[in-house]
Amino acid sequence: MNKVFLIIQREYLSRVKKKSFLIMTFLVPSLFIAMIFFVGYLTKKGDDSKKEFKVCDQSGIFKNQLSNSSTLNFTYLDGNYDQAKKDIRKEKNAYLLYIPSDYAQSGNTEIISEKKPGFAVVDDIETQMENILRNKKLIAAGIDTAILNNSKAKVSINAKQLTDEGEKDASIGATFIVGFVSAFLIYLSLFIYGAQVMRGVIEEKTNRIIEVIVSSVKPFQLMLGKILGIGAVGLTQFLLWIILSTSLSTLAAGYFSKDDGVKAKIEQVGKTTQGQEMTKAASSNNKVQDFLQAADTINFPYIISTFFFYFLGGYLLYSALFAAVGSAVDNETETQQFMLPITLPLIFTFILGMNVIV
Amino acid sequence: MLKVSHIVKEYAKHRALDDVSLEVETGTIFGLLGPNGAGKTSLIRIINQITGPDEGEVFFDGEKLNQNHINKIGYLPEERGLYKQMEIGEQMLYLAQLKGLSRVEAAKRIKFWFEKMGMQDWWKKKVEDLSKGMQQKVQFVATVFHEPELIILDEPFSGFDPVNAEIIKDEILELNKKGSTIIFSTHRMESVELLCNHIALLNKSHKILDGSVKSIKNAYRNNTFYLETTRAFDIANVKTFELLNSAKSDEGEKIKIKLKDGFSTNDVLSELIPLTGINYLEEVIPTMNEIFIEKVKQLN
């Protein structure tokens, strides 16, 4: 047992002392945070640019029907299509929405512009046009306009979980994200640390030190020590990542909370929702509010402990398989053919995990 | 000390050891000789419990070989290897502790050996910064620092320059004097025949010869002598020996002779003294190489 401990100690220290370990430990959370900021920045920036749509409607169905939003502004042209097409090239950030006269029959429309319109924009316009057409058809079929306006229903399911302490918000969105991120982290780390075990085995073989070691300890002790040692490296790295990410994001949160206006707005929105006043603007902000509330209800100690439990279980299984691959080959290039039998079940369980989470 | 009895070891399509038995007595220097692929390393790996035999048993001090014997054996493998990225000192401490020494004791002994071999300032160096000969020295220390009762050296002198080979040889002899039993394994038979008391010859998975070096050489004496005389004489008339070959030199004639049955060297001398002056008469003792070649020829 003492010898296993010695091996664990060597495997652990020789890896933790490496510069690459330190770099990874600090780089990953920084990259993670930077990525979040970057995505946030891009989304924010994308929202700002307002898109000008000139509607050339030869069918006459959609005139003054399309509604403006924070990102879309519709103006209606009377001129002919060819003239409009020429004009649109002179303007930046302007789009020509062309609806031919036989639109009702063919169902074809065109957006003509210098820049490509985004997917979300096209989707938004399509939905609006579909709604307008449907309403028109319903009215033509003899349905009262008043009934039609009342029939717009908004449903929001609030999932509650029954526990010993009573009802709790099930916070579906937040659990999905936490589940996905955890599953992905386990999947990734099994590969990273499993491959490290494999490389360790190959290294000892190519260095020829294996004969010296195996004449001192049992091969089983060597494998156990190696797997546990590298597993401990993985756990250390995760712990450092959690600590670093938490402190970094606390700092980031501190920075954001200075922006009192946003905070006040969110609180304000929260109050209005309690007053049962459902406005469109409120409902979109409401999601953020919901998510923040949901994140609060997640039992993080429980999540983290189950994460470590499953990481360890998966790691012990897969690192042993990786070690087997390492012992079967003489150098790393030969490992590829043996990797598939290991990779397949790993990917399969990952997909299975996604189904469970969703 | 070590008894190997009827060992059979088979690999996929190849029988590496076929019914090999031998005995190594305490305090001897035992040479395990044979050409490449004879099965020497397979046998050594079984003694070191790296692999197990398919048939047969190994006894250490009368006990069946088990894990407790690991710390009593020091093994220098033919394929030398150390962790390239680790500091030498740390590495030696690790290996010594794996052999059952405490950290304090290990540090003490490593310092002792480093001083003895002139490697004091290597402690913080990494293996990749050392020359091959230096690595060999480190590895040799790693084999012997736990003062094992049995030291197994597989091709110990390969990779050493003559000066370092001499140092290692002296260390081995000193360890033997202190009571360690030593097994040499090599295909360069001439390199160890002067060191060994006992040898075993392996060829093509079989042991073909073993015993003390003296008795083997005695068994292979064939009454052949080198004779150098001050002047030529008529060989056709001598009764006690026959000529095998001859070579002229400035001082006289150097010839290789074989005694005829029933005559001794004294008879040769008394017959020659009236005929010529004698510079020397020396017995031709076969080298291990010659014995091996003759033995293999006999078997074929």
Residue A227 clears pLDDT 90, i.e. is over it? yes
Question: Which of A1, A6, A205, A209 to substitute to test the interface with B, most B CBs within 10 Å?
Answer: A209
Higher pLDDT, B195 or A5: A5
List of chain A residues whose C-beta atoms are within 8 Å of the C-beta of residue B58: none
% of chain A at pLDDT higher than 90: 12
- At B174, the pLDDT band (50, 70, 90 cuts) reads very high
- At A279, the pLDDT band (50, 70, 90 cuts) reads very low
Q: Which residue of B has its CA nearest to A14?
A: B86
Residue A84 clears pLDDT 80, i.e. is over it? no
**Residue B172 CA to chain centroid, in angstroms?**
11
Nearest to A212 among B85, B86, B142 (CB): B142
Higher pLDDT, A261 or A55: A55
Residue A35 corresponds to which amino acid? M
Q: Picking from A262-271, A348-357, B274-283, which range would have the lowest pLDDT averaged per residue?
A: A262-271
Average pLDDT of the segment spanning A187-199: 90
pLDDT in tens, B233-263: 777 788 888 888 776 655 566 788 888 888 8
Strand partners, B183: B30, B152
Nearest to A211 among B67, B70, B77 (CB): B77
Q: Is the dihedral of CA B16, B20, B23, B28 positive or negative?
A: negative
Phi and psi at residue B259, to the nearest 5°: -70, 145
Phi and psi at residue A5, to the nearest 5°: -60, -40
Interface list for B 54-83 with A (CB within 8 A): 67, 70, 73, 75, 77, 79-83
Can you give the three-state secondary structure of chain A, one letter per residue?
A: CHHHHHHHHHHHHHHHCCHHHHHHHHHHHHHHHHHHHHHHHHHHHHHHCCEEEEEEECCCCCCCCCCCCCCEEEEECCCCHHHHHHHHCCCCCEEEEEECCCHHHHCCCEEEECCCCCHHHHHHHHHHHHHHHHHHHHHHCCCCHHHHHHCCCCCCCCCEEEECCEEEECCHHHHHHHHHHHHHHHHHHHHHHHHHHHHHHHHHHHHCCHHHHHCCCCHHHHHHHHHHHHHHHHHHHHHHHHHHHHHHHHHHHHHHHCCHHHHHHHHHHHHHHHCCCCCHHHHHHHHHHHHHHHHHHCCHHHHHHHHHHHHHHHHHHHHHHHHHHHHHCCCHHHHHHHHHHHHHHHHHHHHHHHHHHC
Residue B182 clears pLDDT 90, i.e. is over it? yes
Q: Picking from B35-44, B106-115, B199-208, B236-245, which range would have the lowest pLDDT averaged per residue?
A: B236-245
Nearest to B95 among A208, A210, A212 (CB): A212
List of chain B residues whose C-beta atoms are within 8 Å of the C-beta of residue A207: 81-84
ipTM for this prediction: 0.78
Whether the model pTM is above 0.90: no
Give the model's pLDDT for residue B249.
56
Q: Picking from A191-195, A334-338, B169-173, which range would have the lowest pLDDT averaged per residue?
A: A334-338
**Does A6 contact B97 at a Cβ distance shorter than 8 Å?**
yes
Give the model's pLDDT for residue B247.
65
Strand partners, B239: none
Q: How many angstroms separate the most distant Cα atoms in chain B?
A: 77
pLDDT in tens, A105-142: 777 788 887 777 777 778 888 888 888 888 888 888 88
Q: Is the dihedral of CA B11, B16, B20, B24 positive or negative?
A: negative
Q: Round to whole Å and give the CA distance between B269 and B279.
A: 11
pLDDT in tens, B143-167: 998 889 999 999 888 878 888 888 8
Q: Round to whole Å and give the CA distance between B93 and B108.
A: 10
**Residue B291 CA to chain centroid, in angstroms?**
15
Nearest by Cα to B284 from B237, B231, B234, B241: B241
Interface list for B 133-162 with A (CB within 8 A): 139, 142
Nearest to A212 among B77, B84, B97 (CB): B77
Give the model's pLDDT for residue A161.
65
**Does A215 contact B94 at a Cβ distance shorter than 8 Å?**
no
Residue B98 clears pLDDT 80, i.e. is over it? yes
Mean pLDDT of all residues in chain A? 78
Give the model's pLDDT for residue A169.
58
Contacts of residue B124, Cβ cutoff 8 Å, sequence gap at least 6: B87, B88, B89
Q: Tokens for A64, please give them.
A: 């003054």
3-class SS of residue B76: strand
Average pLDDT of the segment spanning A226-246: 89
Give the model's pLDDT for residue B162.
87
Q: Round to whole Å and give the CA distance between B49 and A101.
A: 91
CA distance B117 to chain A (A): 21
Q: Which residue of B has its CA nearest to A5?
A: B98
Mean pLDDT of all residues in chain B? 87
Residue B138 clears pLDDT 80, i.e. is over it? yes
- At A270, the pLDDT band (50, 70, 90 cuts) reads very low
Average pLDDT of the segment spanning A51-80: 78
Residue B73 · residue B149 · CB < 8 Å: yes
Nearest to A212 among B49, B81, B84 (CB): B81
Residue A58 clears pLDDT 90, i.e. is over it? no
CA distance A345 to chain B (A): 31
State the burial class of residue A318 (Cβ atoms within 10 Å of its Cβ: 0-12, 13-18, 19+): buried
Nearest by Cα to B40 from B85, B67, B82, B77: B77
Give the model's pLDDT for residue A159.
65
Give the model's pLDDT for residue B30.
93
% of chain A at pLDDT higher than 70: 78
Average pLDDT of the segment spanning A251-277: 52
CA distance B92 to chain A (A): 12
Q: Picking from A171-180, A225-234, A287-296, B104-113, which range would have the lowest pLDDT averaged per residue?
A: A287-296
Nearest to A214 among B50, B73, B79 (CB): B50
Residue A205 clears pLDDT 80, i.e. is over it? yes
Question: Which of B97, B145, B155 to substitute to test the interface with A, most A CBs within 10 Å?
Answer: B97
Contacts of residue B210, Cβ cutoff 8 Å, sequence gap at least 6: B22, B198, B199, B200, B201
Q: Which residue of B has its CA nearest to A200?
A: B83
Higher pLDDT, B26 or A61: B26
% of chain B at pLDDT higher than 90: 32
Give the model's pLDDT for residue A46.
57
Give the model's pLDDT for residue A272.
44
Cα B121 to Cα B111, B114, B124, B131, B200, distances in angstroms: 10, 9, 7, 14, 40
Which of A55-59, B56-60, B194-198 has the highest mean predicted lDDT (pLDDT)?
B56-60
Give the model's pLDDT for residue B118.
86
Give the model's pLDDT for residue A292.
60
